[in-house]
Amino acid sequence: MSRADRWNHNSHYHRVVLAAIPEGARTALDVGFGDGDLVRALAERVDRVVGIDADIDVVQRARAAGVDASSAVTLVRGDALQPRIPGEPFDVVTCVAALHHLPLDAALERLRDLTAPGGVLVIVGLARNASVWDWIVSGVGVPANRVARAVRGDYRHGAPIADPQESYGDIRAAARRILPGVKYRRRLYWRYTLVWRRAAALA
């Protein structure tokens, strides 16, 4: 199965990530890279990509699949919260369906600090329903999901899964506090996106 054919709720929003890459970006970090499809896509657009994932099985499968076959890609087994990631900070930092595996405030602060001046942080995440509006949007996603799966299938990755503990409101409040100017958007397929651009360094 080609990368283009491997559709699921997460890969659907890779387009959002790629569209946010700033002009002139040269380096990228993908946190919780899973099957490595986003790492490959990023490597087609920037000079150097680091993928980091805490699960050894995920890292080994990605290496066996040749995700790091290009000299532009480095896969690291580790935690995004660790004190140092080779190559930091990065022009592009991405985190797809991984934020809910980490302590929210500490993770947002770390991802912020990993983003270079003038760079962009893009998060695609999951959260729990805690309001009437949350349930309405989730309900709309049910028929959309059925149609999408019927048309495109539903690729299942082998990365660990976990239920999100924070609500959409929790995510929005923390992001606005830690990432001033962040753009939060609730999405179909039980996802949200955060896009934050760090101010460029003063000359």
The residue segments making up the domain with residue 114 are 3-128+157-197
Residue 94 lies in a domain: yes
Q: Is residue 149 part of a domain?
A: no
Structure tokens given for 140: 């709309």
- Domain contains 181: yes
CATH number at 42 reads 3.40.50.150
Q: Is 76 contained in some domain?
A: yes
User: Looking at the domain assignment, is residue 38 inside a domain?
Assistant: yes
pTM over 0.95: no
**SS3 category, 192:** strand
- Is residue 151 included in any domain, yes or no? no
Helix (H) or strand (E) holding 168: helix 168-178
Of 67-76, 83-92, 148-157, the one with minimum mean pLDDT is 148-157
| CB neighbour list of residue 193: distance below 8 Å, 6 or more residues apart | 13, 16, 122, 123, 124, 125, 183, 184, 185, 187
Per-residue pLDDT reduced to its tens digit, 169-181: 999 999 999 999 9
CA distance 84 to 73: 18
- State the chain's mean pLDDT as an integer: 90
**Domain-embedded: residue 140:** no
Task: Answer whether 172's CB lies under 8 Å from 128's CB.
Answer: no
* 137 occurs within a structural domain: no
Domain tally for the chain?
A: 1
